Structure 1
Amino acid sequence: MTDAEAGVSRGTDDVEDESSDDPSQNRGFFGRIFEAFSPNDPSQPLIFTNGRDAAASGMPGLANLRNMRVEDVAIPRIEIVSVPEEIERDELVQVFRDSGLTRLPVYRESLDHPIGMVHLKDFALQHGFNGHTAELDLPTMLRPLIYAPPSMPIGVLMQKMQNDRMHMALVIDEYGGVDGLVTIEDLIEQVVGEIEDEHDTDEDKHFTEESPGCYLASARTPLEEFETEIGLRLVDAEDEEEIDTLGGAVVMLTGRLPARGEVIPHPSGAEFEIVDADPRRIKRVRVRLPKPADE
Structure 2
Amino acid sequence: MPEHPEHSQNTSKPVRTFLDKLASFISSEPDSCTELLDILHDAHDRKLIDTECLSMIEGVFRLFDSAVRDIMIPRSQMYVIDITRPFSEWIDIVTKSGHSRYPVIEGDNETIIGTLHAKDLLHAGEEGFSIRNILRPAVFIPESKRLNVLLRDFRNTHNHLAIVVDEFGNISGLVTIEDVLEQIVGDIEDEFDDENDDKIVPVKAGSAGPRWRIPALTEMAEFNETLGTALEDNRVDTIGGFVANCLGRVPHKGDTFDIGDLHFEVLRADARQLHTLLVEKKTATPEKNPAKL
Q: Normalising to structure 1: TM-score of the pair?
A: 0.68
Between the aligned partners of 1:252 and 1:168, the Cα distance in structure 2 is 32
Query: 2:101·2:115 contact (CA, 8 Å) conserved in 1?
Result: yes
Shift of 1:278: 4.7
1:219 to 216, 220, 245: 216
- Give the Å deviation of 1:216: 0.6
Whether 1:201 and 2:194 are equivalent positions in the alignment is yes
CA, structure 1 residues 94+135, in 2 after alignment: closer, same or farther (shift >3 Å)? farther
Partner deviation per Cα, 1:173-215 (whole Å, 9 max, x = no partner): 2111211201010011112221111222347723211136310
Counterpart residue number, 1:170: 163
Aligned pairs (5 A) from 1:17-166: 59-60=55-56, 61-127=59-125, 137-166=130-159
CA contact (8 A) 2:82 2:90 kept: no
Evaluate the alpha carbon distance shift between residue 83 and residue 169 of structure 1 in structure 2; reply closer, same or farther with a 3 A threshold: same
Match in the other structure for 1:282 = 274
Q: Distance between the aligned counterparts of 1:149 and 1:258, measured in 2? A: 21
The CA deviation at 1:92 is 1.8
Deviations 1:111-144 (A, max 9, x none): 33111111111112333xxxxx779721012012
The structure richer in helix per residue is: 2
Q: Superposition RMSD on alpha carbons, in Å?
A: 3.1
Which has the higher Rg, Structure 1 or Structure 2? 2
Structure 1 residue aligned with 2:36? none
Tell me the amino acid that sits aligned with residue 238 of structure 2: T
* Secondary structure of 1:195 counterpart: coil
Counterpart Cα distance in 2 of 1:293 and 1:166? 48
Contact 2:72/2:254, CA 8 A, preserved across alignment: no
CA distance in 2, matches of 1:93, 1:198: 19
What is the percentage of aligned positions where both structures have the same residue?
31
How much has 1:165 moved relative to structure 2?
Answer: 1.6
In the alignment, the residues of structure 2 paired with residue 86 and residue 98 of structure 1 have an alpha-carbon distance, to the nearest angstrom, of: 20
- Structure 2 equivalent of residue 265 of structure 1: 258
Structure 2 CA distance for aligned equivalents of residues 206 and 134 of structure 1: 46
How many equivalent pairs are there? 232
User: For the Cα contact (< 8 Å) 1:222–1:246, is it kept in 2?
Assistant: yes
| RCO higher in structure (CA 8 A, sep ≥6) | 1
SS at match of 2:124: helix
What amino acid maps onto 1:275 in structure 2? L
Quick check: 2:105–2:113 contact (8 Å CA) kept in 1? yes
Displacement of 1:64: 2.8
CA distance in 1, matches of 2:91, 2:197: 30
- Give the structure 2 partner of residue 11 of structure 1: none
Which structure 1 residue ranges, 5 or more long, are not aligned?
1-39, 49-57, 128-132
Offset from partner CA, 1:26-85 (integer Å, 9 cap, x none) = xxxxxxxxxxxxxx9xxx9xx99xxxxxxxxx9442223323222222111111111223
Is the contact between residue 89 and residue 135 of structure 1 (CA under 8 Å) also seen in structure 2? no
Cα distance change of structure 1 residues 250 and 140 upon mapping to structure 2, 3 Å threshold: same
SS at 1:234 equivalent? coil
Judge conservation of contact 1:250–1:272 (CA < 8 Å) in 2. no
For the 8 Å contact 1:112–1:176, the answer to whether it is kept is no
CA distance in 2, matches of 1:142, 1:253: 44
Map of 2:231 onto structure 1: 234
2:255 counterpart of 1:246: no
Q: 1:232: how far off? A: 2.3
Distance 1:250 1:163, change over 3 A: same
Q: Which amino acid aligns with 2:111?
A: H
The one of 185, 188, 191 aligned to 1:192: 185
The one-letter code matched in structure 1 to 2:73 is I
In structure 2, what is the Cα distance between the partners aligned to 1:211 and 1:85?
Answer: 27
The amino acid that maps onto 1:162 is R
Alignment deviations for residues 214-266 of structure 1 (CA, whole Å, 9 cap, x no partner): 1011222222222222332222xxx2x32211122223344455554444333
